[in-house]
Amino acid sequence: MELRQLEYVVALADEGQFTRAAAVCRVSQSGLSAAIRSLEEELCSPLFARTTRRVSLTEAGRALLPFARAAVAQVAAGRDAVIQATHSLSGRLRVGAEQCLGLVDVPPLLERFHRRYPLVDISFTQAGSHDLVDQVHEGLLDVAFVATTEHLGVVNSIEIGQRPVVLLVPAGHPLAGSTTAQWSDLGEREFIDFKESWGVRSLNDAACTAQGVERRIRFTVDDIHTLLDLIHRGLGIALVPQHVAEKPQATGLVRVCLPPALTPMWIVSAITSVNAAASAGRLLETLGLDGSESRTAGARRVSAGD
């Protein structure tokens, strides 16, 4: 049993698909699949049940998962301890993020960075992606995690990952009985959406305009849980990134897919100002991103953690 195999087990359990897990681990899908099969042969038990649409843990896989997570976490903690003992870094780091990005969990990231570099003074701001882009441009933030590709200008950008947008409706809604909806089905429906500063709002607006959909936005929110609560109460439907539809708070709601060729993709990136503090690069390294690969238009999809 190798650490690499355990990392793959954790990624596949979290992502539920070989393609996404391979992207997170920065390995080919065939390589990840072969490593998982080798581990299953070593343990004489299947760890995952495979279907054409999704991969799920078997009873043996559920038994192994907490130990796999612990092993991966212990190795990461050991790496952090070595870095802390052999590298000194001070100064400040100003970080911003939009709420619930899914592809990067910012609080644990900041905790880990603080363990590595305890002398760095960290400040954090939560806001909509468009506001965060403005603050990076103005030099008020060193690094921000955003869900927009608009108006990035000369900032450095690395794409972390992307997810499709899906339609989320309450049980009993006329569209709840369909697995896929056409854009024409959305016209004149009552919607719940985020404020204009959120990346997903501009993505939704652009997609609806491109498809000729005139929607009625009755409720505008600044919080994902409020949006889900309003849908539960039958006050509207919403276009959300796929990971939002998978949150525990969305249990009981119905996820409806849009036509694949016309589905907008929600893209999460790390952006840094051209004059960012040196600690910004170390934060990206902690996340598993190589700042040297950054570019204005975003780079390849990369891991959201070690």
Handedness of CA 256, 197, 96, 153 (dihedral sign): positive
The pLDDT of residue 142: 93
Q: At a CB cut-off of 8 Å and minimum separation 6, what does 140 contact?
A: 94
Q: Which residue has the higher pLDDT, 186 or 87?
A: 186
Of the listed ranges 153-162, 253-262, 285-294, the least confidently predicted one is 285-294
pLDDT category at 292 given cuts 50, 70, 90 is very low
pLDDT category at 212 given cuts 50, 70, 90 is very high
User: Domains of the chain by range and CATH?
Assistant: 3-72 (1.10.10.10), 85-159+268-293 (3.40.190.10), 162-265 (3.40.190.290)
Question: Which CA distances in Å does 122 have to 97, 107, 144, 276?
Answer: 13, 12, 13, 13
pLDDT category at 127 given cuts 50, 70, 90 is very high
pLDDT at 294 over 50: no
Q: Which long-range contacts (CB under 8 A, 24 or more apart) does 174-177 make?
A: 175/237, 175/254, 175/256, 176/254, 176/256
pLDDT category at 88 given cuts 50, 70, 90 is low
**C-beta separation of 198 from 127 below 8 A:** no
Question: Which CA distances in Å does 187 have to 107, 218, 220, 242?
Answer: 38, 14, 18, 21
pLDDT category at 83 given cuts 50, 70, 90 is low
Listed in sequence order, the DSSP H helices in 26-124 are: 29-43, 59-86, 106-116
Percent of the chain residues topping a pLDDT of 90:
54
Please state, in angstroms and rounded to a whole number, the distance separating the CA atoms of residues 222 and 231: 14
Percent of the chain residues topping a pLDDT of 70:
92
Please state, in angstroms and rounded to a whole number, the distance separating the CA atoms of residues 299 and 156: 10
pLDDT at 92 over 50: yes
Give the amino acid at 224.
I
pLDDT category at 85 given cuts 50, 70, 90 is low
Query: pTM for the complete prediction?
Result: 0.70
pLDDT category at 302 given cuts 50, 70, 90 is very low
What is the Cα 80 distance to its own chain's centre? 23
Print burial letters for 59-76: b (CB count within 10 Å at least 16), e (below 16): eebeebbeebbebbeeee
The pLDDT of residue 78: 77
The pLDDT of residue 59: 92
Which residue in this structure is represented by tokens 């409806």? 256
The pLDDT of residue 295: 45
